[in-house]
Amino acid sequence: PFLELVNAIKAALTPTPTPPPASGSPMAVPAKFASEATECSGFLLQVNLYIQMQPQQFPSEKSKVAFLTSLLTGKALQWAKAIWNANNPIINSYDLCLAQLPVHSTSDQLFRLRQGSTEVNEYTLHFRTLAAASGWNEIALLGAYRQGLNPEIRAAMAIYDDSIGLESFLQRTTRVAQQLAACQPTVTAPQSASVVASSPVPEPMQVDSTRLSRSERNRRISQGLCLYCGQPGHLLRNCPIRPPRPVVSTILSDIETAKLTLLSATLHTSNRSLPVSALIDSGSSGNFISTKCLKELHLPRHRHHQIYSVTTIQGKPLGRGVVRYSSPFITLQIGLFHHEDLRFLVLEDSTVDIILGRPWLQVHQPEIRWDPCDIIRWSQKCSTQCMSLLPHPRSIHTTVASTQIESPEPVFMPEIPAEYRAYQDVFSKLAATQLPPHRPWDCAIDLLPGAQLPKGRIYPLSIPQRQAMENYITEALNQGFIRPSTSPAASSFFFVGKKDGGLRPCIDYRQLNSQIIQQPYPLPLVPAALEELRGSQVFTKLDLRSAYNLVRIREGDEWKTAFIAPTGHYEYLVMPYGLSVSPSVFQTFMNEVFREFLHRFVVVYIDDILIYSRNMAEHRQHVQQVLQKLRQHQLYLKLEKCEFHKSSVQFLGYNINSEGVLMDQGKVDAIQNWPQPDSIKALQRFLGFANFYRRFIKDYSSIIAPLTSLLRGKPRHLTWDPAAHEAFQHIKKLFSTAPLLHHPDPNLPFTVEADASTTGVGAVLSQAVGESSILHPCAFSRKLSPAEQNYDVGNRELLAIKLALEEWRHWLEGAVHPFTIITDHKNLQYLRDAKRLNPRQARWALFFTRFRFTITYRPGSKNIPADALSRQTSADLHTDSEPIIPPHLI
């Protein structure tokens, strides 16, 4: 193929092998081109000029392409070989060939550009060349330049943010690099060390004068001899052969110019804690502590093995200018969770508490926000070595109260079962405080057309609230969950009290929620979900930590979550609590994560996960599969709220075991002790609480009708009457005797008992369990609408049956066995003779054809479970030729 290409090029050029130039001066053949972006424009200019000035050489488009191909090398030539071998149509079009000529893009080269072993000046020159052709904005260019610098220079330049501009940053980088080069090496070994190795005469003294014996030292002092060399005529400080002290320098001109780099920290010993200001100095060769801090901590100082001179970059002494001592190990705490044991060099007469220099920065690689100085994010190494799950005891009080930002772990943590210790990272509280990645299920906030942005207000805060607010904002910034905002939106920030007396931070998103396009994704129906547990013997309950904060806000929507607080204007990068779309977004996310496990051995309701299995061996595999999914998607669990390998578990307000579902005893006790409501709100709260368990109570709607009637017409005051009092006491009694709801078994026949009254309908779904003939019921009830209350008795009975079949359609439609509907004799007589009289009944008849059932009767005196009411059939009904229910089913 290559020879064919060569022949094609020769053939294209043969008509005019060496023609004279058409006009003007002779043209030189352009140099070879290998696809470098910086050379491309010049190369093409030369080629085009050559072709224009020698038109007789290029009678066809193909000859121009052949000439261009002859000048290519490297990857560009490989591309040309491919198109010639394939006889690609572009070989017949010079312009099309130019358009597709492979060129290493300037953007790619900027991304890959690194200083490496070159000098900063050379690196900057190369950068300027690429930048001129890139078309990037100044912020992007500055980020690329900063990223390409060598680590020590990049660390030194970290004190400058992007606001100083690209040109200023480039110039300052050059000056800083020169300053660093001037003071390298920053810590040097004494020159005498090399002299000792090559000299047969032992050196009279090393740097530390205490290595002289006491008698020798006294002798030299009494005779006026030098303490270093032992010779007369000069003192130790002027000894001509004494090697210079190692120099520890700081890049800062003086401490006062570094106010923006002061970071709040705490030093801890076994019995004391001391808040300090830490100076972040990327040019310092060491970590220093002031003598004042050592005294306040009641710590000793130890003579260091070497004496250092400490100067600024201008050569001025820092403090006393000499370091002779080091500290013992001290616990340094930054934020709530970052702890480390650190030894410092002791700096006398220092005006700053501690200095964290380049050695500390190189170890921890923190991401720093410089104005005001704060650590935004720690390195991955810190996540495993420095970030403690148990904050120092003296720092625990700073987490006043917050649901979004986790409080410290309790001192006594439950133990992870041995089978799941390999997944210990899934239970990491620290990992849950890291900014999660963007995923396909990020929280999207789509606003209605013409939406009005929220304009919140700043609420006055008490001293405890202000402290809690500052702690919350600081932690959220450190974790990367929020950032300063310039958004035109601003929701309000305030606190509400918690039951334990703490404070819960809240963002008032009501106005924003009213402007959001709501997502229609439904939450699971809890009763239906629990029906999947049939046959399960072992249960594990898992609870996600900081659930909503594990989901990112869709990129570009962060500004819509902005809120204002006394300390500033911020916006969320993670999904906050209080957004109306949060539950549906998180449920969508969880369903996608566990899609292959749902309806098999996992039930998920937002952040609550229930794993169910038939035996222990199967259950361990199921739990491990779930933990692996959580790890894969970077989701984390709250260990203290997880329960493993249980035969009975509390889940979503129910007590679940291998036999069935019970009401949570704690909630039953709450209903038993509920005082009689004395206001409309109090009655609404009781009914809302009781409605949760309505399926345990037969004819629930009819029983509470006297209570719900008190709310009719939106009254301003509650008028309590004897009927309401009786209903209130009756429903409380029924809650104390509610039955166990067994898990339905589709392989066993069902029984439906339906009943209707003038105010409501009720039904019971039952199933015999085991060899016993006892029916285990599940209740359904509904209050009749005003129009339905006008139905005659027979139509209300028929409506009760229809509503019962709709409620349990997922079990009754397509059931293995025909099910039985029980009613009393009068209803049976009506159903046998009833005809389709109107369109509504015609629709009912069509609905009944979807089920296989038989209707039987139980005399009213024996129909205790259904509690049938007396019925009366209207006599003035018109008949039709076709019955509502076929006679053979009755």
Domain limit, last residue, from 355, 375, 397: 397
Give the pLDDT score at 211.
54
Q: Flag whether 431 is in a domain.
A: no
Q: Stretch 442-461: mean pLDDT, rounded?
A: 87
pLDDT range class, residue 562, cuts 50, 70, 90: very high
Q: What letter would DSSP give residue 59?
A: -
CA angle 571, 574, 575 (to 5 degrees): 100
227 pLDDT above the threshold of 60: yes
Give 738's pLDDT tier (boundaries 50, 70, 90).
low
Would you say residue 40 has pLDDT above 50? yes
Do 476 and 385 fall into the same domain? Answer: no
Q: Within a domain: residue 217?
A: no
* pLDDT exceeds 90 at position 622: yes
For residues 601 and 684, state if they share a domain. Answer: no
User: Is pLDDT above 60 for 620?
Assistant: yes
Give the pLDDT score at 205.
32
| Whether residue 342 sits in one domain with residue 269 | yes
Residue 686 burial class via C-beta count within 10 angstroms: exposed 0-12, middle 13-18, buried 19 and up: buried
Tens digit of each residue's pLDDT (9 = 90 or more) over 299-326: 888 887 677 777 766 566 666 777 888 8
Classify strands 648-651 and 654-657 as parallel, antiparallel or unpaired.
Answer: antiparallel
Question: Using one digit for the tens of pLDDT, what is the confidence trace for 480-490?
Answer: 899 998 889 99
- Among 156, 182, 208, the domain boundary falls at 182
- Average of per-residue pLDDT across 573-578: 89
> Rounded CA gap, 652 and 524, in Å?
12
**C-alpha 320: how far from chain center:** 48
Predicted pLDDT at 889: 62
* pLDDT band at 705; cut points 50, 70, 90: confident
Considering the domain boundaries, does residue 195 fall inside one? no
State residue 342's pLDDT score. 85
Mean pLDDT, rounded, for 361-373: 75
What are 636-686's pLDDT values in tens digits? 998 888 999 998 888 877 778 877 777 777 767 777 778 888 888 888 878
| pLDDT more than 70, % of the chain | 71
What is the arithmetic mean of pLDDT over 857-873?
44
Highest mean pLDDT among 192-201, 406-415, 561-570, 705-714: 561-570
Q: Return the higher-pLDDT residue of 523 and 787.
A: 787
654-657, strands of its sheet edge to edge: 648-651, 654-657, 660-663, 741-742
CATH assignment at residue 837: 3.10.20.370
Shared-domain flag, residues 539 and 676:
no
Instruction: Say whether both 38 and 136 belong to one domain.
Output: no
More confident residue, 411 or 774: 774
pLDDT in tens, 206-219: 333 345 677 787 78
pLDDT given at position 199 = 33
* Whether residue 883 sits in one domain with residue 756: yes
pLDDT tens-digit profile of 96-151? Answer: 777 666 554 566 677 778 888 888 888 888 888 778 766 677 877 888 888 888 87
Instruction: Find, among 245, 347, 335, the residue nearest to 286 by Cα.
Output: 347
Query: What is the token pair recorded at 430?
Result: 């620290």
Verify that 732 and 850 share a domain, yes or no: no
In tens, the pLDDT along 804-815 reads 888 777 778 777
Average pLDDT in the 399-404 region? 30
Q: CA triplet 115, 172, 148: central angle to 5 degrees?
A: 20
Q: Tell me the pLDDT band of 435, cut-offs 50, 70 and 90.
A: confident
| Cα–Cα dist 707/694, whole Å | 14
Residue 448 in any domain: the answer is no
pLDDT: is 349 or 581 the higher one?
581
**pLDDT 10s digits, 139-182:** 778 888 888 888 778 777 776 767 778 888 888 888 888 766 75
Answer whether residue 518 shows pLDDT above 90. Answer: no
Give pLDDT, residue 336: 63
The reported pLDDT for the residue numbered 740 is 56
> Alpha-carbon distance 794 to 828, whole Å?
10
pLDDT for 397 equals 31
Q: Of residues 371 and 524, which shows the higher confidence score?
A: 524
pLDDT category of residue 575 using cuts at 50, 70 and 90: very high
Q: Is 817 or 402 the better-scoring residue by pLDDT?
A: 817
631 shares its domain with 506? yes
- Return the pLDDT at 624: 92
Residue 523 falls inside a structural domain: yes
Question: What are the pLDDT digits (tens) for 803-859?
Answer: 888 877 777 877 777 888 887 645 555 554 555 556 777 777 778 877 888 887 766
Is there a single domain that holds both residue 558 and residue 672?
no
- Name the pLDDT band for 540 (thresholds 50, 70, 90): very high
- The count of structural domains within the chain is 6
Q: Bigger pLDDT: 890 or 733?
A: 733
Domain that holds residue 666: 662-736
Pick the range with the lowest mean pLDDT from 512-516, 625-629, 650-654.
650-654
Predicted local distance difference test score (pLDDT) of residue 742? 63
Q: Residue 161: inside a domain, yes or no? A: yes
521: domain CATH number is: 3.30.70.270
Q: Which of 42-51, 332-341, 613-622 has the highest mean pLDDT?
A: 613-622
Neighbouring-strand partners of residue 373: 370
Q: For strand 775-783 and strand 482-484, is the pairing parallel, antiparallel, or unpaired?
A: unpaired
Band (pLDDT 50/70/90 cuts) for residue 737 is low
For range 868-880, the mean pLDDT: 35
pLDDT, tens digit, 9 for 90 and up, residues 591-610 = 999 999 988 899 998 888 99
Confidence of residue 886 (pLDDT cuts 50, 70, 90): low
Which of 696, 651, 641, 647 has the alpha carbon at shortest distance from 671?
696
Q: Which of 494, 506, 501 is closest to 465 using CA atoms?
A: 494
Residues 729 and 622 in one domain: no
> What is the CATH number for 283?
2.40.70.10
Cα–Cα dist 732/737, whole Å: 9
Q: Which of 125, 150, 182 is the last residue of a domain?
A: 182
Assign 261 a pLDDT band (cuts: 50, 70, 90): low
Greater model confidence, 338 or 65: 65
Query: Is residue 866's pLDDT more than 50?
Result: no
**pLDDT > 60? residue 711:** yes
Model pLDDT, residue 874: 33
Closest CA to 493 of 501, 504, 481, 505: 505
Residue recorded with tokens 């500055």: 142
Domain membership flag for residue 516: yes
Q: Are residues 508 and 641 in the same domain?
A: yes
Q: What is the mean pLDDT of the chain?
A: 74
Whether the bond into 454 is cis, omega within 30 of 0: no
- Tell me what the mean pLDDT of segment 557-579 comes to: 90
Contacting residues for 390 by C-beta, under 8 A, at least 6 apart: 408, 409, 411
What is the spatial distance between Cα 676 and Cα 683, in angstroms, rounded to a whole number? 8
Share of the chain above pLDDT 90, in %: 8
- Residue 331's pLDDT is what? 87
Q: How far apart are CA 577 and CA 508, in angstroms?
A: 10
How far CA 204 is from CA of 21, 211, 238, 377, in Å, comes to 84, 10, 16, 51
With a cut of 70, say whether residue 204 has pLDDT above it. Answer: no
Q: Which of 40-54, 208-222, 240-254, 675-689 has the weakest average pLDDT?
A: 240-254
Q: Does residue 38 form part of some domain?
A: yes
Distance of alpha carbon 385 from alpha carbon 383, whole angstroms: 6
User: Is the pLDDT confidence value at 366 over 80?
Assistant: yes
Whether residue 652 is found in the same domain as residue 518: yes
